[in-house]
């Protein structure tokens, strides 16, 4: 049986669960999509499918590097949503947090997620 690091399995599970949440709780994500993007439902569902697929593709060594690069690209594509969240004073739909939380998510958490993907590309 193949051994996988806890870090790699945690990341794969993180993205699969996050992707599933797009289907289970779309009302959380839809208000976070900037109004200048059309087809909010399609964007939300596509994001969920992509997160699930990339999470699963982290497991096989053959696809791991490309899955990690895909996750990085996806995270970069999500930046407009994080900027929009800050523009609306970190309050979209039912989600309202102090503005520093939106900034912290964009400036600290987001780069850490990118680093996490990069560090698992050759795990």
Percentage of the residues of the chain whose pLDDT score is greater than 90:
91
> Between the CA of residue 40 and those of 59, 82, 116, what are the distances in Å?
30, 15, 28
Tell whether the model's pLDDT for residue 1 goes beyond 70. Answer: no
Which helix (H) or strand (E) segment is 36 a member of? none
- In this prediction the pTM is 0.92
Residue 45: alpha-carbon gap to chain centroid: 13
pLDDT for 4: 76
Non-local (6+) Cβ contacts of 68 within 8 A are 58, 117, 118, 120, 121
Average pLDDT over residues 28-33: 94
Cα–Cα distance between 72 and 115 in angstroms, integer? 8
Domain ranges (residues) in the chain: 6-120
- Tell me the average pLDDT of the chain: 95
| Residues 6+ positions from 26 with CB-CB distance below 8 Å | 41, 44, 45
91: phi then psi, degrees, rounded to nearest 5: -140, 105
pLDDT digit string, tens, across residues 43-96: 999 999 999 999 999 999 999 999 999 999 999 999 999 999 999 999 988 889
């Amino acid at each position: 049986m193949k051994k996988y690091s806890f870090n790699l399995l945690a990341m794969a599970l993180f993205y699969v669960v996050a992707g599933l949440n797009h289907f289970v709780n779309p009302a959380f994500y839809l208000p976070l999509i900037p109004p200048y993007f059309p087809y909010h439902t399609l964007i939300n569902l596509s994001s969920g499918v992509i997160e699930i697929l990339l999470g699963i593709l982290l497991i096989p060594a053959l696809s791991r590097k490309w899955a990690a690069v895909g996750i990085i690209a996806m995270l970069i594509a999500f930046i407009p949503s994080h900027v929009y969240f800050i523009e609306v004073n970190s309050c979209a739909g039912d989600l309202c947090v102090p503005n520093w939380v939106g900034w912290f998510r964009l400036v600290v958490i987001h780069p850490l997620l990118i680093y996490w993907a990069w560090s698992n590309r050759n795990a």
